[in-house]
């Protein structure tokens, strides 16, 4: 006979306000539901025919974009499991700069497929084991699918061709113009060793008005403002960069001065003027012809700068100030005074030009083959893409597409292998993982086969976004038939649906970087596995007092 141990009631483990959810029903399936919702939100924005989302963030700023990285950054996801997925897509953004939406959609689909297995009675650890095996197999097979490499040495046409599929997924219809601009800018800043390509050396300046056809690449840095003084053009000059204001230093305390006559009035400011003149004379004597100011420029300071024939440009962004310091190879100074030989920079051309009715200032180093080129500034070359467009939102979206393109160039310089795009690679991987799953023994094979069907989501979404749901299913079945044939690895979705909705990706040069696909599969699987391995959620009470409800009506109304 066993003794019955009395069960303690109301055993308080956590402080008041804690939430504790556990078990399959409360924790795992609820997490999967939250992630499915996030995945479905960005799914309609996938591919060239993806729809735009109109977002208004907490500061009231408006965004019109189909870029998944921007969407998830601005919607501020608070669900803890969905945050894991957001982190995975942010890792993809920082690593590759592209395929963030692939991570979100694929991880969401993996979790949706796992839901059926869990409800059927499989343990999460068996599903995790199957997913990890399938991921390993998919990555191994991906290595064999590379059809071509980015040709070396790089030319404008070869780079533009590799960028077109990436840019078309964000700005369909403008991919030819944008990829040509990005390729031209990237080649202008590419050093003798392309491995040292710096993404930061390709800048974008947006000027409202005109249309995309008026956009162009300018060698050097472009600032959307004119210089402050009378000097508008300087060549082969020494540059000083100051982060402080070019003005008379304000005293900490205020004093009252009694002036008795006109002479005292004249002498009162003369001391300050003499001091300021001495400082700018020292700067001029050191050979400086251009000053970049990180803050305000006073009237008196401007007077002396004009007198000493020194050009002065105001750059209010600290990031731009850092970039311009790198371009001219100068040290930003926190005090006004003559820079030493090591602190001063050098620029070949400083000029003011007009772009679409706007006066802009260009700082550039001469390139190879230009008259006066001395090879000094090889490392500090910068190119700026000047974008034209009708609205600020459209220009912002074009900038995001360019940003993706530049990041993809960096990825391709590390790993130049390309695989068929248009969903062909994912479908082929799905087919091969499915065959691999059929040969496995044990419960893990169910998860491996579900992983294979989850890979279908990429071509399915492309087809659905372009052609609609019913037609999308037909295209997918045609694709499966073509992939079953020998040598059918490169068949993908034709979003223009000219024939039967399918095309040979290699013939149409729709090729994606292998590295971006590899990272997307890896990160999506990791995120899905992390969510499946959670069995309980413990949330503490948020800090801060109770939220005061807003009063309706006027605050001093009696009724």
> Which CATH number is 250's domain given?
3.50.7.10
Residues 311 and 360 in one domain: yes
Q: Does residue 447 contact residue 127 with C-beta atoms inside 8 Å?
A: yes
Strands 202-208 and 383-389 turn out to be parallel
Q: Identify the weakest region by mean pLDDT among 123-137, 199-213, 353-367.
A: 353-367
Note whether 229 and 361 are same-domain residues.
yes
Nearest Cα residue to 310 out of 220, 229, 251, 430: 229
Same domain, 77 and 173: no
The answer to whether residue 92 scores a pLDDT higher than 60 is yes
CA atoms of 454 and 194, how far apart (whole Å): 37
CA–CA separation, 426 vs 432, rounded Å?
A: 10
**Where residue 2 falls among pLDDT bands split at 50, 70, 90?**
low
SS3 270: helix
Report whether 158 contacts 150 (CB < 8 A): yes
Is 524 among the domain residues? yes
CA distance 440 to 451: 14
Q: Which residues contact 102 (CB under 8 A, 6 or more apart)?
A: 46, 92, 458, 517, 520, 524
> Do residues 392 and 244 share a domain?
no
The residue among 415, 438, 462 that closes a domain is 415
Q: Assess whether 429 and 321 both reside in one domain.
A: no
Q: How far is CA 190 from each of CA 41, 184, 346, 438, rounded to the nearest angstrom?
A: 38, 10, 20, 48
Q: How many domains does the chain have?
A: 3
Q: Which of 4-13, 149-158, 307-316, 415-424 has the lowest mean pLDDT?
A: 4-13
Return the closest-CA partner of residue 117 out of 134, 136, 105, 97.
134
User: 3-state class of 135 per DSSP?
Assistant: helix
- Flag whether 8 is in a domain: no
Exposed, middle or buried by CB within 10 Å (0-12, 13-18, 19+), for 75? middle
Query: Is residue 503 in some structural domain?
Result: yes
Within this chain, do residues 22 and 41 fall inside the same structural domain, yes or no? yes
Mean residue pLDDT of the chain comes to 77
The C-alpha atoms of residue 516 and residue 412 are separated, in whole angstroms, by 9
Interval 142-187: pLDDT, tens: 888 777 777 777 777 778 887 888 888 777 877 788 888 888 888 8
| Statement to judge: residues 259 and 129 lie in one domain | no
**346 within a domain of the structure (yes/no):** yes
**In this structure, are strands 19-22 and 536-539 parallel, antiparallel, or unpaired?**
antiparallel
Note the pLDDT of residue 249: 64
In a shared domain, residues 190 and 224: no
Q: Is residue 11 part of a domain?
A: no
- What is the torsion angle, in degrees rounded to the nearest 10, for the CA atoms of residue 438, residue 442, residue 443 and residue 448? -30
**Strand pairing category for 345-355 and 234-242:** antiparallel
Task: Specify whether 471 is located in the same domain as 367.
Answer: no
For residues 534 and 28, the answer to whether their CB atoms sit within 8 Å is yes
Q: Note the pTM of the prediction, 2 decimals.
A: 0.77
Given 328, 358, 379, which residue is the final one in a domain? 379
**Is 374's pLDDT higher than 70?**
no
Q: What is the pLDDT of residues 395-417, one digit of tens each?
A: 888 888 888 888 888 888 887 78
To the nearest 10°, report the CA torsion of 427, 429, 432, 437.
Answer: -100
The fraction of the chain above a pLDDT of 70, given in percent, is 83
| 432 occurs within a structural domain | yes
Q: Is residue 550 part of a domain?
A: no
The CATH number of residue 405's host domain is: 3.30.260.10
Q: Are residues 360 and 224 in the same domain?
A: yes
Q: Looking at the predicted structure, is the pLDDT value of residue 519 above 80?
A: yes
Domain assignment of residue 172, yes or no: yes
Same domain assignment for residues 34 and 132:
yes
CATH number at residue 137: 1.10.560.10
The reply to whether 138 and 186 lie within a common domain is: no
Residue range of the domain that includes 404: 151-206+383-415
Domain termination residue (choose one: 360, 391, 415): 415
Taking 60 as the threshold, does the pLDDT of residue 122 lie above it?
A: yes
**Contact between 317 and 369 (Cβ < 8 Å):** no
């Amino acid at each position: 006979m066993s003794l019955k141990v009395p069960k303690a009631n109301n055993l308080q483990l956590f402080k008041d306000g804690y939430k504790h959810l556990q078990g399959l029903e409360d924790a795992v399936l609820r997490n999967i539901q939250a992630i499915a919702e996030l995945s479905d939100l960005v799914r309609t924005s996938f591919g060239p025919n993806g729809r735009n989302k109109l977002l208004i963030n907490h500061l009231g700023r408006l965004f019109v974009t189909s870029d998944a990285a921007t969407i998830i950054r601005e919607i501020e996801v608070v669900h803890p499991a969905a945050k894991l997925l957001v982190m995975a897509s942010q890792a993809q953004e920082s690593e590759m700069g592209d395929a963030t939406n692939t991570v979100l959609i694929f991880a969401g689909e993996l979790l949706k497929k796992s839901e059926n297995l869990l409800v059927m009675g499989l343990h999460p650890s068996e599903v995790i084991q199957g997913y990890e095996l399938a991921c390993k197999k998919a990555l191994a097979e991906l290595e064999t699918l590379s059809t071509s490499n980015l040709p070396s040495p790089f030319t404008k046409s070869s780079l533009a061709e590799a960028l077109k599929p990436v840019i078309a997924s964000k700005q369909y219809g403008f991919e030819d113009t944008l990829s040509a601009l990005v390729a031209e800018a990237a080649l202008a800043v590419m050093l003798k060793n392309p491995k040292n390509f710096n993404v930061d050396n390709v800048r974008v300046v947006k000027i409202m008005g005109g249309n995309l056809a008026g956009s162009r690449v300018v060698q050097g840095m472009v600032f959307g403002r004119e210089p402050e003084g009378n000097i508008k053009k300087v060549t082969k000059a020494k540059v000083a960069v100051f982060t402080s204001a070019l003005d008379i230093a304000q005293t900490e305390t205020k004093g009252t001065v009694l002036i008795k006559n006109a002479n005292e009035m004249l002498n009162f400011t003369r001391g300050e003027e003499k001091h300021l003149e001495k400082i700018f004379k020292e700067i001029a004597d050191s050979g400086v012809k251009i000053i970049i100011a990180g803050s305000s420029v006073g009237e008196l300071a401007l007077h002396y700068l004009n007198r000493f024939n020194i050009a002065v440009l105001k750059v209010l962004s600290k990031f731009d100030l850092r970039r311009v310091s790198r371009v001219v190879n100068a040290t930003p100074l926190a005090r006004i005074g003559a820079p030493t030989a090591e602190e001063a920079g050098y620029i070949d051309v400083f000029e003011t030009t007009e772009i679409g009715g706007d006066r802009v200032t260009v700082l550039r180093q001469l390139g190879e083959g230009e008259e006066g080129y001395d090879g000094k500034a090889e490392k500090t070359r910068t190119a700026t893409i000047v974008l034209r467009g009708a609205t600020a939102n459209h220009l912002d979206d074009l900038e995001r597409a360019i940003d993706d393109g530049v990041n993809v160039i960096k990825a391709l310089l590390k790993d130049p292998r390309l695989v068929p795009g248009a969903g062909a690679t994912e479908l082929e991987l799905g087919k091969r993982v499915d065959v691999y799953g059929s040969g496995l023994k044990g419960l893990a094979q169910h998860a491996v086969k579900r992983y294979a069907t989850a890979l279908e989501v990429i071509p399915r979404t492309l087809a659905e976004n372009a052609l609609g749901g019913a037609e999308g299913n037909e295209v997918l079945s045609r694709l499966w038939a073509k992939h079953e044939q020998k040598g059918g690895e490169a068949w993908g979705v034709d979003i223009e649906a000219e024939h039967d909705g399918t095309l040979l990706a290699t013939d149409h040069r729709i090729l994606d970087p292998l590295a971006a696909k590899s990272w997307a599969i890896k990160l999506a699987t990791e995120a899905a596995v992390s969510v499946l391995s959670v069995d309980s959620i413990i949330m503490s009470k948020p800090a801060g007092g109770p939220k005061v409800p807003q009063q309706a009506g006027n605050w001093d109304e009696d009724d």
